[in-house]
Amino acid sequence: MKKVFFFLMAIVLMVNAQNKIEMPAIFSDNMVLQQKSLAPFWGKAKPGEKVFIKTGWGASANTKAGDDSLWQTKIRTPKAGGPYEIKIQIGDSAIVYKNVMTGEVWICSGQSNMEMPLEGWPPNDTISGASQEIPNANYPAIRLFTVTRAYSTEQQFNCTGSWTECSQQTAAHFSATAFFFGKKLYEELKVPIGLIHTSWGGTPVEAWTSGKYLSQIEKYKTILSLLDESKTEFVKLKNWLAEKPVIDMNGKNGESQWMNLDFEDSVCSSANYNDSLWKEMNLPRNWENTEVGNFDGVIWFRKKIEIPENWINKELVLELGAIDDMDATYANGMKVGGYEKDGFWQTDRVYAVPAEVVKEKFVTIAVRVMDNQGGGGIWGAAEKLLIHPKDTDEKISLAGNWKYLPIAEYASGKFFVFGAAHEEFNHRPKLPVDLSPYTPSVLYNAMIAPIVPYSIKGAIWYQGESNTDDSEGYKKLFPLMINNWRDDWKQDDFPFYFTQIAPFKYSTGTNSQKLREAQFVSLSVPKTGMAVTLDIGNPDNIHPANKKDVGGRLALWALKKDYNKKNVCSGPLYKSMKIEKGKIILSFEYADGGLILKERDGENNFTIAGADKIFKKAEIKIEGKKLILSNSEISDPTAVRYCWDDISEGTLFNNAGLPASSFRTGNWNE
Q: What would the pLDDT profile of 49-93 be if each residue is shown by its tens digit?
A: 999 999 999 999 999 999 999 999 999 999 999 999 999 999 889
Q: Kindly report the CATH number that applies to the domain delimited by 573-664.
A: 2.60.40
Q: In 3D, which of 574, 549, 543 has the Cα closest to residue 639? A: 574
CA distance 66 to 50: 10
What local confidence, expressed as pLDDT, does residue 670 receive? Answer: 57
Q: Tell me: pLDDT of 17 over 80.
A: no
Strands, E, within 532-598: which ranges?
Answer: 573-580, 583-589, 595-597
Question: 1 falls in which pLDDT band (50, 70, 90)?
Answer: very low
Q: What percent of the chain has pLDDT over 90?
A: 88
CA distance 97 to 163: 11
Cβ neighbors of 251 (< 8 A, separation 6 or more) are none
Cα angle 526-453-96, degrees, rounded to a multiple of 5: 140
Helices (H), 275-429: none
Instruction: Return the amino acid letter for 431.
Output: L
Q: In 3D, which of 464, 553, 554, 586 has the Cα closest to residue 514? A: 464
Burial status of residue 228 (CB atoms within 10 A of its CB: 0-12, 13-18, 19 or more): middle
Distance from CA of residue 347 to its chain's centroid? 21
- 295, 376 contact by CB (below 8 A): yes
Phi, psi of 36 (to 5 degrees): 50, 50
Q: What is the mean pLDDT of the chain?
A: 94
Structurally, at CATH architecture level, domain 253-423 sits in Sandwich (2.60)
Cis peptide before 544 (omega within 30 of 0): no
Cβ neighbors of 668 (< 8 A, separation 6 or more) are 613, 639
Q: In 3D, which of 563, 585, 556 has the Cα closest to residue 657? A: 556
What count of residues does the chain have? 670
CA distance 383 to 366: 19
Partnered with residue 64 across adjacent β-strands are 50
Q: Tell me: pLDDT of 315 over 50.
A: yes
Q: State pLDDT tens for residues 393-431.
A: 899 999 999 999 999 999 989 999 999 988 899 899 988
Q: State pLDDT tens for residues 425-484.
A: 989 998 888 889 999 999 999 999 999 999 999 999 999 999 999 999 999 999 999 999
CA distance 550 to 572: 16
Q: Specify the pTM.
A: 0.91
Average pLDDT, integer, range 243-257: 90
- 110, 36 contact by CB (below 8 A): no
- 609, 639 contact by CB (below 8 A): yes
> What fold does the segment set 104-210+441-561 form as a domain?
Rossmann fold (3.40.50)
Same fold, 21-102 and 573-664: yes
Handedness of CA 182, 530, 572, 471 (dihedral sign): positive
What local confidence, expressed as pLDDT, does residue 89 receive? Answer: 96
CA distance 276 to 289: 23
Instruction: Return the amino acid letter for 624.
Output: G
Give residue limits of the domains in the chain.
21-102, 104-210+441-561, 253-423, 573-664
Q: Tell me: pLDDT of 318 over 50.
A: yes
- Any idea of the CA torsion for 275, 276, 279, 280, to the nearest 10 degrees? 90
- 508, 624 contact by CB (below 8 A): no
Q: Kindly report the CATH number that applies to the domain delimited by 21-102.
A: 2.60.40.2550
CA distance 532 to 529: 10
- 98, 85 contact by CB (below 8 A): yes
Cis peptide before 325 (omega within 30 of 0): yes
CA distance 277 to 267: 15
Q: State pLDDT tens for residues 347-386.
A: 999 999 999 999 999 999 999 999 988 889 999 999 999 9
What local confidence, expressed as pLDDT, does residue 4 receive? Answer: 37
Average pLDDT, integer, range 328-356: 95
- 345, 324 contact by CB (below 8 A): yes
CA distance 305 to 334: 16
